[in-house]
Amino acid sequence: MNLLADTCRAIVPVDDEAARRMRQCLDDKTKPRGSLGMLEDLACQIASIYGTVLPPLPRKAVVVMAADHGVAEEGVSAYPAEVTAQMMRNFAAGGAAINVLARQAEARVVVVDMGAKSPIQGIVKILNGWLGPGTANFTRGPAMSKDTAVRGVEIGIGVAAELAADGIGLIGVGDMGIANTTAASALTAVLCGEAVERVTGRGTGIDDAGWQRKVRAIKQALTVNRPDPADPLDTLAKVGGFEIAGLAGVLLGAVARRIPVLLDGFITGAAALIAARLCPAVRGYLIASHRSVEPGHQAILRDLGLRPLLDLQMRLGEGTGAVLAMYLVEASLRIVREMTTFPAAGVTDTGV
């Protein structure tokens, strides 16, 4: 049995009829029609995913996948590679930004080691999805084998399946990995057909010289590896990352179980490109939590046809934007469940 193929076969398009009925329900509430803007659109999307006009208030989790990248050797990040493992330990200890925001949102934080340079052992709050000591330096050859890419995706599918079995009904995704914006920029350039310079930002805050090294590294990787934009797994293997593979799997695994997914920023967007190329119906289940300041994120949002809910000039990653947007998902559902209709409130409905 091929878990990836079986998962893609299980994915069905969202229920447009449920969205239509949700719109009708919202129009009956005591407000001018459409006056809650994107909050109403969000409620309709959630209805289309769950297939019901009265979706439940879901239990929430954010999956943070982390891995190292061999291209860090090229001086493309302002931080050393050891920070990846250090931040994973910080996540496990509850001291990072994602932990603070997730506690407020009452969301579980699930941390997965997809490939730190040294596997993190003995910390029960970090799941082991380790594929190796970081990817290879993709300026010299493929980041990983195609078999490894598939294995990474299938690990992510398994994580989503476990969360669904435990009753989680809303999943946010986040990332950690020094040099992972370099991999995401390479993936975006290939899959969106954009110039490398247009989709490459400053990541952790590199200077002009660092940005130029980053652009050169990506261009060299594309020349050396020649990733096929028509083959998402080939592209993922040649210029992607272990955590990006895992995140693509989380998206597919969640969508196969009709669970809406809140994307964070640039890295999770790159994972969404992979997932949507593998199964186009995935798009209807994705919610863009915010607009990252990374320029490549804009290309991803255009490609996926997503409108971000927030624009807070954020670029941290970790799933921070996804968790903030969980408040908006819950707010949209509470409007449906708790707001009074025109007849019940005795308020005149003018039909506008």
- Residues labelled as active-site residues: 318
Tell me the HSE value of 154 on the side-chain side, using a 13 A CA sphere: 13
Residues 99, 51: Cα–Cα separation, whole Å = 31
Q: Would the CA dihedral through 309, 313, 315, 321 be positive or negative?
A: negative
Name residue 121's amino acid: Q
CB 163 within 8 A of CB 170: no
CB 158 within 8 A of CB 7: no
273, two tokens: 């490109």
Q: What is the largest CA-CA distance in the chain?
A: 71
Residues 118, 88: Cα–Cα separation, whole Å = 12
* 3-class DSSP state of 127: strand
CB 263 within 8 A of CB 297: no
DSSP-derived secondary structure letter, 282: G
* 3-class DSSP state of 273: helix
Element (H, E) at 286: strand 286-288
246: left (phi over 0), alpha (psi -120 to 50) or beta: alpha
- C-alpha distances in Å from residue 158, one per residue of 20, 108, 190, 212, 242: 33, 17, 27, 38, 15
CA-wise closest residue to 283 among 39, 1, 13: 13
Element (H, E) at 113: strand 107-115
How big is the chain, counted in residues? 352
210, two tokens: 């660092």
